[in-house]
Amino acid sequence: MPLLIKCVQATDGGILEMGTGIASTPLLHWLASERKRRLISYDDNIFFYNLAKQFQSKYHRIRLVEDWSQLKIDGHWSVALIDQSIPNRVQIAIYLKDKVDYMVIHDTEFDSPYHYELVWPHFKYRYNYTQQRPNTSVVSNFKDLSWLQSKTL
């Protein structure tokens, strides 16, 4: 949450949530709503999709994904949270690499089953938050991430 909040507050464009949740969806909803920012939340899990639907609003759209490989994201986005089902995280992170200023990736501890070692070479910048487990990383091809190393996290 600390990295996600910092990235959202440092930007003013659209936000993608790849995988909804009981913590991230309400948080992103209120952060985006406060400044009337576009937010699209995607999930392939019908349980989480149904939970997230209560947050759908003028600025926040909730989408059910049947096949992540068929997902089409247009335009450039300020922030994307990668936290969907395990087999699709690497694919979506690489797909979005040139479409997002700040990509926040959840569960990036070294012993995770997500195979993020396939993602890291696709990005110019990376910051790993390891103070809490599960770990979280931010990657970007557009923005230097040295500002995230602040002691205020």
* pLDDT (tens place) for every residue of the chain, 153 residues total: 889 999 999 999 999 999 999 999 999 999 999 999 999 999 999 999 999 999 999 999 999 999 999 999 999 999 999 999 888 999 999 999 999 999 999 999 877 788 999 999 999 999 999 888 889 999 999 999 999 986 555
Q: What are phi and psi of 79, to 5 degrees?
A: -140, 140
pTM score, two decimals? 0.94
Residue closest to 85 by CA, chosen among 5, 29, 21, 3: 21
Domains observed in the chain = 2-148 (3.40.50.150)
- The whole-number pLDDT of residue 133 equals 84
